[in-house]
Structure 1
Amino acid sequence: MKKFLFASVGSAVLLSMAAPALAADMAVKAAPPPFVAPIYSWAGFYIGGNGGWGSSHKCWDVTNFPGATVVPAFREGCHDATGGTAGGQIGYRWQASNWVFGLEAQGNWADLTGSNVSVFVPRWTNNSKIEAFGLFTGQVGYAWNNVLWYVKGGAAVTDDKFRGTVTTAPFQGFVFDSASETRGGGVVGTGIEFGFAPNWSVAIEYDHLFMGNHSNSFTSAGVLGAAVIPVGGVFRTDSIRQDVDLITARINYRFNWGGPVVAKY
């Protein structure tokens, strides 16, 4: 009987000692894995499209008419050439922690048109149009996971067309001289971009183009101009100052993204 009691007590002691170890072992095995939060990657090549609205502010000063220098230059007036734009962009970005760096080339068709009656000669109207522009920029940005804010800056080029038209009847609207140029300048801008899928992102961007002051020679095209200067000859010279403001919506597709690349515990 004593042996049975001692055996029973010994078994109870062993079981009581083993129970915490078994419980601890079971608790470790049952613990859920640590939470892993993905970090969005902005690195890689991308290509995309954009569209929006633009406004080009232009001021005209006549410096030569016709064949005689105007001293001092006479201000003909200013106007805003406004309209739509659409185009595409291609670029590459690097990412270091939350900082993002990139290079981008953008090309756009545009239809920014405007006009004003000349103060110099009210019988004519000055017309302008930007038909296209290109931007070549560097970028620096800061990312909050799938949200990226960036600034950009670099070179800009615009394709400009200028016309002088008759203001009054009976030849109202007839072109009497014209000029065109490809103008270079600079651009600064900023945007905010949202990644909504592993390879896709959308952005809203604002850009300001500093296109400077250029001298443009207008050639005679007939009607009023032909009465003073033969067709094809220089009718007048204007110094035209120009700035451009752009607001565009953009969508980009990234290549070799591969989804989230960094884990955060």
Structure 2
Amino acid sequence: MRTIRLGLLAGLAAFALVTTSAQAADLPSRYSPAPAYEAMPTFTWTGFYVGANLGYGWNTGTSRYYDPAFGYVGSSKTGGFVGGAQAGYNYQFGMFVLGAETDLQYAAVGNKGASYGNTHFPGNSDGFFGTIRARMGVAFDRALIFGTGGFAYGDVGGNVGYDPVLGYHRDNSTNGGWTLGGGVEYGVTNNISAKVEGLYVNLDTSGNYAGGARYTDRRDTEFGVLRAGLNYKFN
């Protein structure tokens, strides 16, 4: 009889232990779940962008025209303000960035005056140029070192002749050529970047007047540009 009682007590104790454990498992945990990890967005140069720039340009070539008394005469070199806007697209794969950019610039870098003999006749130095270029670079996170080159066009001077019979003659024509350069760009934010860039531009110009007739002469209008700019990249 005593043995039966001990067995019943042991069974009741085991049942109570199992029931208590099951109820404890159903209670909410006092520990918070592990926080979910959210990675910070990685900076990328990929995307369309627009921007503006300003800087200084200087004429490195010599504009010439034909004088019947003195032959071909060279005019002086000038320089001045350059400023405008640009737009383009970059694509980044790994450390490398490929892109294309076009820009249009006001440029007071030409010599639109003329020389007749030993006399120089100053002219307006206002002009413009634009480029359509490829860009290739290497990115170090937010810093981009790049080279650029392509087609250039514009009218920055070198097309004026002075003739004692006809006076000033201005050939308002857009000339084509090429450009080459490079620079550094840095991503200030995920959407805004700042750059410093240098370009060498070579445009072909032709045509002068002297003695009442036009003399066609191919000339290289060459100038350098150093400019700083800001770009806004669309997500």
Asked whether the two chains share a fold, i.e. TM above 0.5, the reply is: yes
Q: Distance in 1 between matches of 2:52 and 2:171?
A: 31
Q: Which has the larger radius of gyration?
A: 2
> TM-score, length-normalised on structure 1?
0.65
Change (3 A) 1:94 1:148: same
Q: Distance in 2 between matches of 1:251 and 1:195?
A: 10
Q: Distance in 2 between matches of 1:116 and 1:100?
A: 42
Q: Distance in 2 between matches of 1:45 and 1:189?
A: 21
Q: Equivalent residue for 2:59?
A: 56
> TM-score, length-normalised on structure 2?
0.72
Deviation of residue 113 (structure 1)? Answer: 4.3
Deviation of residue 55 (structure 1)? Answer: 1.1
Is 1:109 paired with 2:106?
Answer: yes
Q: Equivalent residue for 1:83?
A: 80
Is 1:163 paired with 2:160?
Answer: yes
Q: Equivalent residue for 2:16?
A: none
1:179-258, aligned counterparts within 5 Å? 179-212=171-204, 214-218=205-209, 229=212, 234=213, 236-256=215-235
Q: Distance in 2 between matches of 1:108 and 1:160?
A: 10
Greater share of strand: 1
Q: Let me know the Cα RMSD of the aligned residues.
A: 3.4
CA contact (8 A) 1:93 1:100 kept: yes
Segment drifting more, 177-186 vs 191-200: 177-186
Change (3 A) 1:180 1:81: farther
Q: Distance in 2 between matches of 1:93 and 1:44?
A: 5
Q: Distance in 1 between matches of 2:101 and 2:214?
A: 40
Equivalent AA in structure 2 for residue 202 of structure 1: A
Deviation of residue 35 (structure 1)? Answer: 11
Equivalent AA in structure 1 for residue 221 of structure 2: Q
Q: Which runs of 5+ in 1 are unaligned?
A: 1-28, 167-174, 219-224, 257-265
Percent identity reads 26
Equivalent AA in structure 1 for residue 62 of structure 2: C
Q: Equivalent residue for 1:259?
A: none
**How many pairs are equivalent?**
202
Equivalent AA in structure 2 for residue 244 of structure 1: F
Equivalent AA in structure 2 for residue 250 of structure 1: G
CA contact (8 A) 1:157 1:183 kept: yes
CA contact (8 A) 1:53 1:246 kept: yes
